[in-house]
């Protein structure tokens, strides 16, 4: 038995034993890719188990995240803060080893994977970040940003459409430090994939513009090593290594079968596997010689120390750039950020512009963008409509990676997943845009951003039937409330330019999760506010127009409907009613306020309430209660000018006044 085989077999036995103990999991992929992982981690990966956040570490992503026991085993063996007891707790409550790799739980895990295809898209974002930051910060002989992104992926990742979106773009961008290893084992849960997946994968990636290393024996360490060396030598294109493997390699009766894909091997097969591998140790018992061979703590410390010496010279010669790089990698906002952005909000309030909030969003970018060199914008082929290209934007699509903007093409899902990878890499603050209707294409990437609690900013314009003539195929109805249903997602739907700038401010400052910014196509009215009301926008919901006495009716509006509700409020007040208008641009932020403030805005004593939003309305009953009403959009739209549709579907001052008078009796 060679030491190299023994070291790889350690992954196999840890994977099968952990899955067996949990009585849940996927042993096949870790066992099949064990030889590849052993070569990658021990011969190529530049990382430091003592500091998983080292800036210039190589990134490793397990896109086929059901094989989570592979990275867990490799990280444990390499010396990360991941004990054998943590492996024994695989898939158990509050364990550091969840069922699929999750960012923030396990040291060394770079992103949450499991929904197939997203890991490779995240990796594209990481590799793009490396290239952008290297262009911006490296100086001659002082390459402080210089690392690779490695990603494992399987048949399932390649079947998912997002892999096409992301890998096509990676080839166009020529991301030479992105190296993918395809686990070509011909098996998925349903069995042999020949009945549903017969793509010419090498040909497909050649067509994308990738460098392809085909027909590699995934169980031959020398062949794997040669393939990785070849991939690393090609710097003008991303590389994919097509490695032929046997799923469940080492299991004498179940290897090569879907029986070991998503279920424990079973006690008898595990014993047979130990005998077949000549593995002489009990479950979770790893010989010290294997730990010694895998241990990367000393070598990792040396690699980081060598880089730190380089960075020290960089700091001496380029102190401003070094400080800027560290600030950005630490996720810190620039000095005097709060004062500058507050001043800009007040300036916009004084100018009182009346415009579509998508244009107000660009106004926000014009004011805030110069303060944020880490901004990296983009749009899924809708830049002129999304208004995301501001005067300081510079496109990288011509190959100039000193820029800060990218046209992603019609790739909404990949755009959002690539943005997540960029956020996770650090050093950049990405925002990407499309129409709100097409958030459906990207929904799982939005969910992953929320699950990871990362600061990705998703811009969605054309937010209602106000889209107009494009008709119901392009008019969102259910999208706004379903975005609000995603835990950790902040959803802002501002009513005018002032709220739009504040929405951007909060998205930029929100370090605890992603933000969806929803903007109108049509013009909206500017709302006058006091300084206190401007401050209260930051609380997600606030009193925009108050009644002279205790309110007998409260109107609650968001987005373009606030202007209509404001007119209705004034008419009702003129008729002698005590009516209050509450603008609620971000319900999640309002809900996070203390009870005293929430009751000041929505006093429990006032039970007559009407919420107005041009979207499916059930969400709002939590604020209006059983005695209140919701004026919402509970059918699909129509093809007509937006103002006609608002009248047709009841989003008018008259309709609100009529509903209010009925409710007031």
Q: Fill in the DSSP letter of residue 65.
A: G
Token duo for residue 556: 């609650």
pLDDT for res 397: 95
Residue 523's DSSP bridge partners are 356
pLDDT of 348 > 50? The answer is: yes
Q: What is the pTM of this model?
A: 0.98
Who contacts 523 (Cβ-Cβ below 8 Å, separation ≥6)? 354, 355, 356
CB 163 within 8 A of CB 157: yes
pLDDT classification of 353: cutoffs 50, 70, 90: confident
Reply yes or no on whether the pLDDT at 1 is more than 60: no
Q: Which residues pair with 191 in a beta bridge?
A: 188
Give the SS3 label for residue 509: helix
At 281 the three-state DSSP class reads coil
Read out DSSP for 602-653?
A: S-TT---EEEE-SS--GGGHHHH-TTSEEE---S---SS-HHHHHHHTT-SH
DSSP 368-392: HGGG-TTEEEEESS-HHHHT---TT
Q: Give whole-number Cα distances, 300 to 103, 228, 294, 484, in Å.
A: 21, 20, 11, 43
Q: Which active-site residues does the annotation give?
A: 412
Average pLDDT over the chain reads 97
pLDDT (tens digit per residue) in 157-200: 999 999 999 999 999 999 999 999 999 999 999 999 999 999 99
Give 181's strand partners. 152, 241
- Compute φ and ψ for 424, nearest 5 degrees: -65, -35
Encode pLDDT of 528-552 as tens digits: 999 999 999 999 999 999 999 999 9
Which of 381, 366, 376 lies closest to 427 in space, CA to CA? 376
pLDDT of 352 higher than 90: no
| 292-299 mean pLDDT | 98
Reported confidence tier of residue 2, pLDDT bands at 50, 70, 90: low
Whole-angstrom distance, CA of residue 542 vs CA of residue 529: 11
């Amino acid at each position: 038995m060679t030491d190299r085989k023994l070291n790889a077999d350690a992954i196999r036995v840890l994977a099968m034993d952990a899955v067996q103990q949990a009585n849940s999991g996927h042993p096949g992929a870790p066992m099949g890719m064990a030889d590849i992982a052993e070569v990658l981690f021990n011969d190529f990966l530049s990382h430091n188990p003592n500091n998983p956040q080292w800036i210039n570490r190589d990134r490793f992503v397990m896109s086929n995240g059901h094989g989570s026991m592979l990275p867990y085993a490799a990280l444990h063996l390499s010396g990360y803060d991941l004990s054998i007891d943590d492996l024994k707790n695989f898939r158990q409550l509050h364990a550091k080893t969840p069922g699929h790799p999750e960012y923030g739980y396990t040291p060394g895990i770079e992103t949450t994977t499991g929904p197939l295809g997203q890991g490779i898209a995240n990796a594209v974002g990481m590799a793009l970040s490396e290239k952008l930051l290297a262009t911006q910060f490296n100086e001659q002989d002082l390459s402080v940003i210089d690392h690779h992104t490695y990603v494992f992926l399987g048949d399932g990742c390649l079947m998912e459409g997002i892999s096409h979106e992301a890998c096509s773009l990676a080839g166009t961008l020529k991301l030479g430090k992105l190296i993918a290893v395809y686990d070509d084992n011909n098996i998925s849960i349903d069995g042999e994939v020949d009945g549903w997946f017969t793509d010419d994968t090498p040909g497909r990636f050649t067509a994308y513009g990738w460098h392809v290393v085909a027909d590699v024996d995934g169980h031959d360490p020398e062949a794997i090593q040669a393939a990785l060396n070849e991939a690393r030598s090609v710097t003008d294109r991303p590389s994919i290594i097509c490695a032929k493997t046997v799923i469940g390699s080492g299991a004498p009766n179940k290897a090569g079968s879907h029986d070991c894909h998503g279920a424990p091997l079973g006690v008898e097969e595990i014993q047979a596997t130990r005998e077949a591998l000549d593995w002489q140790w009990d479950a979770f018992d790893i010989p010290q010689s294997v730990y010694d061979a895998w241990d990367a703590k000393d070598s990792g410390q040396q690699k980081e120390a060598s880089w730190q010496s380089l960075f020290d010279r960089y700091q001496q010669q380029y102190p401003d750039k070094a400080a800027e790089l560290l600030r950005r990698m630490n996720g810190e906002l620039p000095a005097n950020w709060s004062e500058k952005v507050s001043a800009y909000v007040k300036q916009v309030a004084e100018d009182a512009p009346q415009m579509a909030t998508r244009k107000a969003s660009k106004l926000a970018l014009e004011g805030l963008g110069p303060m944020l060199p880490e901004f990296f914008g983009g749009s899924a082929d809708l830049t002129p409509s999304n208004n995301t290209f501001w005067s300081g934007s510079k496109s990288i699509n011509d190959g100039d990676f000193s820029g800060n903007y990218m046209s992603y093409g019609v790739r909404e899902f990949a755009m959002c997943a690539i943005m997540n990878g960029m956020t996770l890499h650090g050093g950049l603050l990405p925002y990407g845009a499309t129409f709100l209707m097409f958030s459906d294409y990207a929904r799982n990437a939005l969910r992953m951003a929320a699950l990871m609690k990362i600061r990705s900013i998703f811009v969605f314009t054309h937010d209602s039937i106000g889209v107009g003539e494009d008709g119901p195929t392009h008019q969102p109805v259910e999208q706004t409330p379903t975005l609000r249903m995603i835990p950790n997602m902040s959803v802002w739907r501002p009513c005018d330019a002032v709220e739009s700038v504040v929405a951007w401010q909060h998205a930029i400052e929100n370090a605890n999760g992603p933000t969806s910014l929803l903007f109108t196509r049509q013009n909206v009215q500017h709302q006058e506010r006091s300084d206190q009301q401007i401050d209260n926008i930051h609380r997600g919901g606030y009193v925009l127009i108050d009644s002279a006495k205790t309110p007998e009716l409260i109107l609650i509006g968001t987005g373009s409907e606030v202007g209509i509700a404001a007119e209705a409020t004034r008419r009702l007040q003129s008729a002698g009613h005590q009516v209050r208008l509450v603008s609620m641009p971000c319900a999640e932020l309002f809900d996070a306020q203390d009870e005293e403030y929430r009751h000041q805005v929505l006093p429990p004593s006032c039970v007559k309430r009407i919420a107005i939003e041009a979207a499916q309305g059930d969400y709002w009953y939590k604020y209006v209660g059983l005695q209140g009403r919701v004026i919402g959009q509970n059918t699909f739209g129509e093809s007509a000018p937006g103002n006609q549709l608002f009248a047709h579907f009841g989003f008018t001052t008259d309709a609100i006044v009529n509903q209010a008078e009925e409710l007031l009796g």
